[in-house]
Chains A and B, each alone.
Chain A
């Protein structure tokens, strides 16, 4: 074991390299920007993207009202049964002072009074509030079919102008089936003081059919779209890169199988596949993985990492592997394949062993299987360790001790380690884990379902792209050089090949954000995307369909928002392509 002091020179060396790399990348960025700004369209694209991002960040401050005010109200307030409606749908006037409410005369929350409350407002603490309104005058009382009722059946409480008293007649009237409509005028000044921002008297995009401000909804829609776009693009890139580079690097049968799987995904139109997948996930409320799998992933990861580290000085051929644990070491691909299979079966919710093979399923069985697999992994690791101890290669012993040198901080600062720790933290921090499963995503809401569906349909494109790149880079001499000094496949792939294959990936990533926003809004438009009432652009267009002939503004603005955002990302991607592709540097 080496102490902290002995690593001093290493640390200095590493720090020097890091500063050099940073200054180098700084000048790289500057040079790239000079190429980028030559194209007017690319600059416009960048500005569009930046403005959409800015809008989404400051939506709280720009928007007139919070778009979710009616949706996240979980508290039942007396007999207000439905969301309050503003008096003038489709109007450009935001400054309303009338409100219609349902009064549920057969409500389980039976009461003799109704409290006039405002719409929900999000306070500074991000919680939802409602204010009581002081009612000035009752305007009309109608039954469910729109016929006028006697307005004196409801009166304003003389002591408190927020409380409306329902009379006996209203309940005893047999002609009223269940609900009546009440419209009243309230004191708008007090309302304004309490929560409406100053200076917003006109909704510049008009109001929706529910009387909500369209401008605010479009603003908040940028958050949803950007979130979907970036999350999906990041995750598809990750999955596609791993799968594609495995296919490209190993070639042969692995490549063949992976590419055929990709072909299967290409064969079905993406939107139809995504639709089916969203539906297939409709019963899932939270994404969980079994506990054994959750324990297995970090172990597997550490095993792979330490193996990569340990075997990097060891020649491929060894004598011992044919002796003690020979068959285990030689067949480890089969074991790893089994593990991957376990992994996927564990992930597919609802499909259990009993269904798949007709086996009886018990918790003990699963537990023992998990323990067995962990033991197996340990044996494989042990075999290698025994081999290292027995062999007298130069430096192998030092390597082992180095890999166990926990005092050297630079060793831990690899991206992989950070990623694993972040993932582990995420898993345990945000999980409501039970005895035998770990919660990955606590509320697997409709947003997550769209994202999962788009990831599911999107990864083969990246896999194919990366495979092509890897096939191209693989033939270069520096890869051969790395192979000849005995670098293991994982190291060659992630350290040598991928850094040289990232250019088209970045372009595809940028273009994919735009494409994802389009697909997600398409899904929402069909009604399989965001939950009803969400400020999602596709959903807003879909909601406006029945009114679009006479109120085209309802459809135009959200649609334009989608088009502009997608256009921005596409132009940005094109600009990046021009920078990265030397052919286009004219």
Chain B
């Protein structure tokens, strides 16, 4: 099978899944005991806005029901929902008082930034420890790292994040050295938030100093803040580098929590995969040629052992987004996880549907990319 045929096949397989996700979110949102029509008019539901042909009064509530199509049978409502989705109208949030598409568009980069950075921590950590573990199989290091791999998987991520806060974010900074433990003020890392408090509400009101139409990833956007905008900021924020550093420092703890939690399973996969490869003939050949052990393991064995690790990438992105729900709640990031929690608490179901759909889309997309990547690396996959 040619590569482009493989991609087309994968894309076709995506369609039923996306349809299924819309049906699932639609079903769930209709089970949620909230009245969207009542949520939109609030106190003014009783006001009469018009009259029917028979002269009966129509209240604002009834008009809303009519407008939202809530009087139709469920199947027609689903059709309407899908049509609206297709047209880009994702509904109106009753908690944020903004279109859902905007809410999700603002929140998604925050979560993605956190998830990607977490994977940047998790992958090197898991892979390097996995390699050492496999090479020193059944020795002390192997036992310890395997134990830690299981322990990391077993840690409740919200608790681990709080412990990190406690250790690294509440210490005192005495004489320039970070003193991580039980201080009263300051600490090595900021305790929560996405930015320094002085940056959260810049001088000129609530307008963001980040370029409009930017990526939303502040690690990238901070390099594109113009000098005029920088001049409006409070003192001490005079360069792009400082903004970048601020964002990075605020991301450090949540990403460490997420990354360490997901590095455990990676370590185990890497170890198992490498152990399998190390018994292959070509590794023995490489050793017989007289190559150094380092070269045998890193160049010959690891290249093949890493191939199956790629397939987990898609799943770990999904896992990181799921874990972000908890870390975002703890570190007060207004990402998708926190939006989801808030919308669920306020029974704001257009947002719930939007967030679920977009996380599913991200997950499916990343899996698609990973599959294509896999097919490029390992052409045998295309033959299925």
Query: Which residues of A does B touch, CB under 8 Å?
Result: 40-41, 260-261, 263-273, 275-277, 279-283, 348-351, 355-358, 514, 518, 521-522, 525-528, 538, 541-542, 545, 548-549, 552, 555-556, 558-559, 562-563, 566-567, 570-571, 574
Contact = CB atoms under 8 A, between A and B. Distances in A.
Contacts of B344: 275-276, 279, 528
Contact of B340 (A275, A545, A556, A559): A275
A311 B74 CA distance: 42
A41 B31 contact: no
A261 B24 CA distance: 10
Interface stretch (B85-93, B123-131, B145-153, B247-255): B145-153
A563 B162 CA distance: 14
Nearest to B138: A586
B162 A541 contact: yes
B341 to A, nearest CB: 5
Given A276-B29, A351-B31, A525-B156, 15 more contacts: A41-B147, A272-B359, A275-B344, A276-B32, A276-B356, A280-B28, A280-B32, A283-B33, A356-B74, A358-B73, A525-B329, A527-B341, A527-B345, A559-B163, A562-B159
A528 B32 CA distance: 14
A541 B159 contact: yes
B73 A355 contact: yes
Nearest to B317: A269
A178 to B, nearest CB: 26
Interface string B314-330: 00001101110110011
A349 B322 CA distance: 27
Lowest 7 A-B CB distances belong to which pairs?
A: A559-B159, A269-B322, A264-B20, A358-B73, A280-B31, A283-B33, A566-B154
A351 B28 contact: no
Nearest to B276: A583
Interface string B325-337: 1100110000001
B307 interface: no
A269 B318 contact: yes
Contacts of A264: 17, 20-21, 24
B270 interface: no
Given A268-B360, A283-B33, A538 B156 contact: yes
B256 interface: no
A552 B159 CA distance: 11
Nearest to A549: B170
B211 to A, nearest CB: 30
Q: Give the most central of B159, B182, B337: most A CB within 10 Å.
A: B159
B348 to A, nearest CB: 10
Nearest to B319: A269
Q: Give the most central of B30, B182, B344: most A CB within 10 Å.
A: B344
30 contacts: A41-B146, A260-B17, A261-B20, A271-B322, A276-B25, A276-B29, A276-B32, A276-B340, A276-B344, A277-B28, A280-B29, A348-B27, A350-B30, A351-B74, A355-B73, A357-B75, A522-B156, A522-B325, A525-B326, A528-B344, A552-B182, A555-B159, A555-B162, A559-B156, A563-B156, A566-B153, A566-B154, A567-B154, A571-B150, A574-B150
Contacts of A355: 73-74
A570 B154 contact: yes
Contact of B154 (A279, A357, A518, A538): A518
B122 interface: no
Given A549-B166, A559-B162, A563-B159, A271 B31 contact: no
A260 B20 contact: yes
A272 B162 contact: no
Contacts of B30: 350-351
B157 A552 contact: no
Contacts of A525: 156, 158, 326, 329
Contact of A541 (B21, B75, B158): B158
A255 to B, nearest CB: 13
B369 to A, nearest CB: 14
B352 interface: yes
Is the contact region of chain A dominated by helix, strand, or loop, or is it mixed?
helix
Nearest to B324: A269
Contact of A267 (B29, B182, B360): B360
A563 B341 contact: no
A514 B154 contact: yes
Contacts of A563: 151, 154-156, 159
Is the contact region of chain B dominated by helix, strand, or loop, or is it mixed?
helix
A277 B321 CA distance: 18
Contacts of A566: 153-156
A394 to B, nearest CB: 46
A468 B360 CA distance: 24
B303 interface: no
Given A357-B73, A358-B73, A574-B150, A522 B158 contact: yes
Interface in B287-327: 318-319, 321-323, 325-326
Contacts of B337: 272
Contacts of A281: 31
Interface in B349-363: 352, 355-356, 359-360, 363
A570 B153 contact: yes
Given A271-B326, A272-B355, A567-B151, A356 B162 contact: no
Nearest to B181: A552
Contacts of B363: 266-269
B119 interface: no
Contacts of B325: 269, 271-272, 275, 522, 526
A525 B341 CA distance: 11
Contacts of A558: 159
Contacts of A273: 356
Contacts of A522: 156-158, 325-326
Interface string B75-115: 10000000000000000000000000000000000000000
A556 B319 CA distance: 25
A571 B318 CA distance: 25
B143 interface: yes
Given A267-B360, A272-B356, A356-B75, A350 B159 contact: no
A268 B352 CA distance: 12
Nearest to A560: B159
A225 B329 CA distance: 22
Contact of B21 (A267, A357, A549): A267
B364 interface: yes
Contacts of B319: 269
B329 A526 contact: yes
B150 to A, nearest CB: 5
Contacts of B157: 522
Contacts of A356: 73-75
A133 B42 CA distance: 48
B352 A276 contact: yes
A522 B30 CA distance: 25
Given A41-B147, A272-B340, A355-B73, A267 B32 contact: no
A353 B337 CA distance: 35
A351 B160 CA distance: 41
B16 interface: yes
Interface in B168-183: 170, 182
Contacts of B329: 525-526
A472 to B, nearest CB: 16
A556 to B, nearest CB: 8
A280 B24 CA distance: 12
Contacts of A269: 318-319, 321-322, 325, 359, 363
A273 B24 CA distance: 10
B121 interface: no
Q: Give the most central of B73, B322, B340: most A CB within 10 Å.
A: B322
B257 interface: no
A567 B150 contact: yes
B185 to A, nearest CB: 10
B104 to A, nearest CB: 13
Contacts of B118: none
Contacts of B29: 276, 280
Nearest to A567: B154
Contacts of A41: 143, 146-147, 150
